[in-house]
Amino acid sequence: MASFVITSNAPCPSPNKLFMIQAEEFVEAARNLGFDFYTGVPCSFLTPFINYVINDAQLTYISSANEGDAVATAAGATIAGKHAVVMMQNSGLGNAVNPLTSLTYIFRIPLLVICTLRGDRSLQDEPQHQLMGQITDKLLQTMTIPWEYFPTDAAQIEPVLQRATAYMQQERCPYALIMRKGAIAPHPLTRSSILKREDSSRPHVQQSFFQENKEQRVSRSEALARILQFTDIENTVIIATTGYTGRELFASKDSANHLYMVGSMGCASSMALGLSLARPDLKVVVIDGDGAALMRMGNFATIGTYGGANLIHILLDNEAHDSTGGQATVSAGISFAKIAEACGYGVTLAGDDPALLDALFTADTDARPKFAHLKIRPGTLENLPRPNLTPEAVLQRFVKHIGNS
């Protein structure tokens, strides 16, 4: 990877002399370069920008539960062939550090990140923004993400986007634009930000009996073998969460349609959402864990709102952080299926009988994602191997398999 360089040659614009651009000017210039998939968490500085994107039915805007999920969802869309933009307030940049360092960095996934500058030294702002305002540029630099200020003059837009695009194409890593207050002129919202689904069928939960004796439950490897029986290599992809799940899937059967997450714990389901939205022709299966699902439970709501019938979410729950020593999670008292039902999934199943996987893959749903919560026993295979390919190699094999250059 190239050494870090701050790419902006322009001086820092003074907020007292800040010009404004129209949201249309930037978004349309970005669209000409292929950017049509947006994710993010709102900031008042971003309001005109987000409004313009939402108003255009030809653009996609996913309102994520947190900034880390927004990064992962955009990453999923990117590996499917989209050009994605992630928008966030800098106070939420901390939420995005994990996927920016252990997902987009190691897998080499380029994203355009637009981060606002609350706590700007030149402005009076709320006290909670003070420190982040002082370190936003340093934090990006520490993550080796090149940045420059968001353009405040129409003549700057094309050069800024060209620099960002050239870097992302060459390095396959994120590039950031820091947006100061008043960079974009107001733009009204004229379209619903969340489109309502047709309520043609009610989600349902099929609750099965959970064995009290955990050792009587199916093992992770047995569950994975059953999942593989229902996944056609040609039109189905599998994203396996970090830890033993990805490693056991690799040990069971390595395949070009598999993506083994390493790091970015909890981001597998949000990444799967982005991929499934960008490639509705693919069946996207994400295999989650109880610790990972608890860490980013807000993504259940995002999947239930935006996900389609081609997304299948499977949670293998052994009530433990297995790969870090078997420490207990709080999942023993959590009904993930009821959470998924409440969040809008179309089919929600729960139990410890692996036959529920058969029911999951054969169930009909209108246009909504499907979910299964399968209790498994703790433990893993002896001498469990790690994937013998680098994350970057795994991803390049994966994108080639799905036909993305």
Instruction: Name which residue leads in pLDDT, 117 or 206.
Output: 117
Six token digits for residue 218 = 């199916």
- 3-state DSSP assignment of residue 354: coil
Q: Which pLDDT score, from 0 to 100, does residue 34 have?
A: 98
Angstrom distances, CA of residue 11 to CA of 6, 150, 340, 349: 12, 12, 49, 56
Amino acid letter for position 145: I
Instruction: Name which residue leads in pLDDT, 80 or 205.
Output: 80
CATH number for 205-401 (one of 3.40.50.150, 3.40.140.10, 3.40.50.970, 3.20.20.70): it is 3.40.50.970
pLDDT band at 123 (very low <50, low <70, confident <90, very high): confident
> Which residue has tokens 């396959």?
172
Q: Which pLDDT score, from 0 to 100, does residue 205 have?
A: 62
pLDDT band at 206 (very low <50, low <70, confident <90, very high): low
Q: Which pLDDT score, from 0 to 100, does residue 3 have?
A: 41
Task: Quick: pLDDT tens for 358-372.
Answer: 999 999 877 899 999
- CA–centroid distance for 48 within its chain: 23
What lies within 8 Å, CB to CB, of 95 at 6+ separation is 66, 67, 68
DSSP annotation of 121 reads T
Mean of all residue pLDDT scores within the chain: 91
Q: Where are the domains of the chain?
A: 15-179, 205-401
pLDDT band at 112 (very low <50, low <70, confident <90, very high): very high
Task: Quick: pLDDT tens for 49-64.
Answer: 999 999 999 999 999 9
> Are domains 15-179 and 205-401 of this chain identical in fold?
yes
Task: Quick: pLDDT tens for 30-45.
Answer: 999 999 999 999 999 9
Task: Quick: pLDDT tens for 242-293.
Answer: 999 999 999 999 999 999 999 899 999 999 999 999 999 999 999 999 999 9
Beta carbons within 10 angstroms of residue 37's beta carbon: 26
- The pLDDT of 130-148, averaged and rounded, is 96
CATH number for 15-179 (one of 3.40.50.720, 3.40.980.10, 3.40.50.970, 3.40.30.10): it is 3.40.50.970
Residue 352 pLDDT > 60, yes or no? yes
Return the C-alpha torsion angle 131, 168, 311, 234, nearest 10.
-160
